[in-house]
């Protein structure tokens, strides 16, 4: 069973808002056994919407549409759908009552334009929207299912969870889809592919392997499709275990989680604590950790010692070290690491210093030069990296490299 998602709105096409709806909807559909064939964004123009609908119904069995259901003149999805299906409009009594209740609840005047929210194409089945005035609309035409929903995320999610997914499950006999994700760090996708080529080549036809690279890390996703949930889950997990055994030295997690979350989980399980001494990353590492609930169990905090003065006063970096070797050096990052372990009293620490750019580089230390140190009281890793000249990428690459080094150190200690 194939689905297509169409988002409607000029605000998406000009980059004013980011389309998070499609990603969430694709996850829910996939979990229900429905594969998404394509995701498209179109403008608030009737001709564009109709073209998108015509093309989608040729590719997919289920077409999900979001956006363009508001009360203003630029919201034309309903009237366009009515023209597409060759029907008129009708006022739905239940949708009208919902509109009246919402306005009464907030003691707001009910205008004629608000009453039009209850007007729907004559051939649709109305899906109640308890979180807004625009109802969802279900169409079953020419063996295809079309569902139109509001673009407001919490309204769309309510309609998907409460009505659309259950209705699709009841309507179609859907297969089981199982994904297993392995998170690797520190090795490029081409090298990984070469190391596991024989395993990939031997995969059965109903199990596929995808490589999902990110700066400094690669997720390996095994996807299985079948009717027997228990058998399929076992098959996919068996193949995942073969891959994990083969590339164990670069495995950060056997789950679809962020690298920093994998490290937090490992350290929490061992009751270990962590601090940071950041310079060129400017607090980005701290942000990565603290965005996760429960991070305080592991992450104590640290310092953004951007200036030499703070490196000296907070971390105890020696004036002589800075004068002889500079802020971006093995010697300085080593003393930053030692200062973090000593002053913040954590079991492990990460220290980073570098030239993020775009200025500040020299022939000896060009933009993108970074030193990273990770360690504890008994051992440490110190490495230098030469990244590019893009500031944001340098910050992200530095953070990922630091997390990868810490992951390696934790793995070595536990051998």
> Rounded to two decimals, what is the model's pTM?
0.77
Question: Which one of 105, 139, 171 terminates a domain?
Answer: 171
| Number of domains the chain is built from | 3
Residue 320 structure tokens: 């002589």
CA distance 336 to 319: 12
Q: Are 262 and 183 in contact (CB under 8 A)?
A: yes
CB 132 within 8 A of CB 155: yes
Share of the chain above pLDDT 70, in %: 100
Tell me the percentage of the chain whose pLDDT exceeds 90: 91
Mean pLDDT of the chain: 95
Question: Domain boundary residue among 253, 283, 306?
Answer: 253
240 and 290, same domain (yes or no): no
The β-bridge relationship of strands 217-226 and 207-214 is antiparallel
225: containing domain = 176-253
**CA nearest neighbour of 102 among 89, 87, 114:** 114
Residue 74 shares a structural domain with residue 135 = yes
Q: Are residues 278 and 296 in the same domain?
A: yes
Give the span between the Cα atoms of 255 and 245, in whole angstroms.
15
Q: Give yes or no: residues 103 and 12 share one domain.
A: yes
Clarify whether residues 157 and 10 are in a common domain.
Answer: yes
Where residue 140 sits, what CATH number does that domain have?
3.40.980.10
Q: Give per-residue pLDDT as tens, 296-352.
A: 999 999 999 999 999 999 999 999 999 999 999 999 999 999 999 999 999 999 999
Ranges of beta strands (E only) in 88-169 are 89-91, 119-121, 125-127, 136-141, 144-149
Q: What is the pLDDT of residue 73?
A: 84
* Residue of 348, 158, 165, 213 whose CA lies nearest to 268: 348
Say whether both 281 and 229 belong to one domain.
no
Q: What is the mean pLDDT of residues 280-285?
A: 97
pLDDT digits (tens, 9 = 90+) for 184-219: 998 999 999 999 999 999 999 999 999 999 888 999
**48 phi, psi to nearest 5 deg:** -65, -40
Chain-centroid distance, C-alpha 404: 19
pLDDT for 413 equals: 78
Least Cα distance to 90 among 113, 65, 124, 132 occurs for 124
In a shared domain, residues 292 and 381: yes
Query: Which residues is 89 bridged to in the sheet?
Result: 121
Q: Which of 171, 198, 218 is the last residue of a domain?
A: 171
For 19-29, the pLDDT digits (tens) are 999 999 999 99
Half-sphere exposure of 302 (CA within 13 A, CB side): 35
**146 and 10 in a common domain:** yes
CA geometry: angle 282, 405, 281, nearest 5 deg:
5
310: its two tokens: 């703070």
- Given a cut of 90, whether residue 110 has pLDDT beyond it is no
CATH number of the domain bearing residue 191: 3.30.70.2860
Question: Predicted confidence band at 415 (pLDDT cuts at 50, 70, 90)?
Answer: low
The stretch 394-413 carries a mean pLDDT of 93
> The tokens of 223 are what?
């996807």
Token pair listed for 24: 């969430």
> Mean pLDDT over residues 266-278, rounded?
97
Same domain, 244 and 306: no
Sign, Cα dihedral of 42, 47, 51, 53: positive
**Sign of the alpha-carbon torsion through 338, 342, 348, 353:** negative
How high is the pLDDT of residue 36?
96
- Tell me, yes or no, whether 227 and 287 share the same domain: no
Residues 152 and 30 in one domain: yes
Q: What are the pLDDT digits (tens) for 351-371? A: 999 999 999 999 999 999 999
């Amino acid at each position: 069973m194939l689905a297509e998602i169409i988002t409607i709105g000029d605000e998406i096409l000009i980059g004013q808002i980011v389309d998070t709806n499609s990603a969430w909807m694709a996850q829910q559909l996939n979990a229900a056994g429905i594969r998404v064939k394509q995701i498209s964004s179109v403008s608030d123009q009737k001709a564009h919407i109709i073209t998108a609908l015509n093309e989608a119904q040729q590719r997919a069995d289920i077409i999900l549409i979001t956006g363009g259901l508001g009360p203003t003149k630029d919201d034309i999805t309903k009237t366009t759908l009515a023209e597409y299906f060759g029907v008129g409009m009708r006022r739905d009594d239940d949708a009208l009552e919902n509109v009246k209740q919402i306005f009464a609840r907030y003691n707001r005047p009910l205008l004629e334009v608000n009453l039009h929210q209850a007007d729907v194409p004559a051939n649709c089945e109305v899906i109640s929207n308890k979180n807004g005035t625009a109802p969802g609309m279900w169409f079953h035409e020419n063996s295809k299912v079309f569902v139109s929903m509001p673009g407001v995320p919490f309204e769309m999610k309510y309609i998907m969870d409460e009505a659309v997914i259950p209705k699709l499950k009841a309507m179609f006999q859907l297969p089981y889809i199982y994904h297993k994700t392995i998170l690797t760090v520190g090795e490029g996708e081409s090298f990984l592919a070469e190391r596991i080529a024989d395993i990939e080549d031997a995969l059965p036809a109903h199990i596929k392997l995808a490589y999902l690279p990110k700066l400094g890390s690669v997720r390996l996703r095994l996807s299985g499709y079948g009717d027997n949930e228990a058998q399929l889950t076992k098959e996919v997990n068996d193949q995942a275990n073969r891959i994990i055994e083969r590339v164990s030295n670069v495995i950060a997690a056997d789950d679809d989680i962020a690298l920093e979350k994998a490290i937090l989980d490992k350290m929490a399980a061992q009751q270990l604590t962590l601090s940071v001494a950041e310079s060129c990353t400017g607090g980005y590492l701290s942000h990565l950790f603290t965005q996760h609930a429960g991070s305080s169990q592991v992450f104590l905090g640290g310092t953004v010692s951007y200036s030499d003065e703070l490196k000296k006063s907070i971390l105890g970096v020696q004036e002589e070290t800075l004068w002889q070797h500079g802020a971006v050096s093995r010697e300085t990052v080593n003393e930053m690491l030692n200062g973090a372990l000593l002053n913040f009293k954590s079991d492990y620490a990460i220290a980073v210093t570098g030239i993020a750019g775009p200025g500040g580089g020299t022939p000896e230390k060009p933009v993108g030069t970074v030193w990273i140190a990770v360690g504890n009281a008994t051992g440490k890793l110190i490495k230098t990296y030469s990244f590019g000249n893009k500031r944001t990428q340098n910050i992200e690459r530095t953070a990922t490299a630091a997390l990868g080094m810490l992951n390696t150190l934790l793995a070595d200690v536990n051998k």
